[in-house]
Each structure stands twice: as C-alpha cells, then as structure tokens.
Amino acid sequence: MRRIHKSVCLPNDVGRVIVFAWNLNSEQDENLVCIEPDKRVRWKARLPTKDAGDCFVDVELEGNLIRANSWSCHTVWLDPLTGETVRTQFTK
C-alpha cells in the first residue's frame, strides 16, 4: 500500500483527492487520484509533461477547481468530477 502524502476532502462529501508519496527515481508517477466515498477510484489525473520522474507534489481546492502542483514546476487546475485538466501553467 502506498503512503499518502496529502489528502483533501471535496465539498458535499463527493470524495477525496489524494496525492500519494512519490519516488523520483522511477518513471512518471500519476500519483494524484480522486476516491469515491465507497473507496472506488473515480479518476487518476494526467501529468502535465511526459518527463521521466514527473509526479504530483501538492494539491489544494481553489474555488470550484482542484489545483495541483507537479515536480516539473507546472500547476494544473482540474475538474473535480472528471479529473480533466482545465488549465496548465508553468510556474518556475
């Protein structure tokens, strides 16, 4: 079982967004998921790059979107229901 780095509850008890701990020595790690209240995975977020070792390192709620930061210095805003990327910004 993977260690949880950070977990954020979505409003109205529709689920929880989890960033799992990452291993920078590995291939890409799509380590941001949304879990339904019954523990099923609703979606897994796509990373903003195809860089080896990229992973998500933080997650927050921002208005009605999820804001996640990646190791590759990108911020992505995600739709909380689908996990689809709404916007991406390079932040370095």
Please state the separation of Cα 28 from the chain's center in Å. Answer: 13
What is the torsional sign of CA 4, 22, 35, 33?
Answer: positive
Full residue range of the structural domain in which residue 55 is found:
4-90
The domain that holds 39 is classified in CATH as 2.40.10.480
Supply the pLDDT for residue 68.
Answer: 98
DSSP 3-state percent helix, strand, coil across the chain (nearest 5): 5, 50, 50
The total domain count for the chain is 1
Residues 6+ away with beta carbon under 8 Å from 46: 30, 83, 85
Residue 73 in this model has a pLDDT that exceeds 80: yes
| pTM for the full predicted model | 0.91
Task: Name the percent of the chain lying above pLDDT 70.
Answer: 99
pLDDT for the residue numbered 92: 81
Q: Write out pLDDT tens, residues 9-23.
A: 999 888 999 999 988
Separation of alpha carbons 26 and 77, rounded Å = 24
Q: Is the pLDDT of residue 25 over 80?
A: no
Give the tens place of pLDDT for each residue, 40-62.
999 999 999 999 889 999 999 99
- With CA atoms as reference, report the closest residue to 44 among 56, 58, 60, 27: 56
Instruction: Give the pLDDT of residue 67.
Output: 98
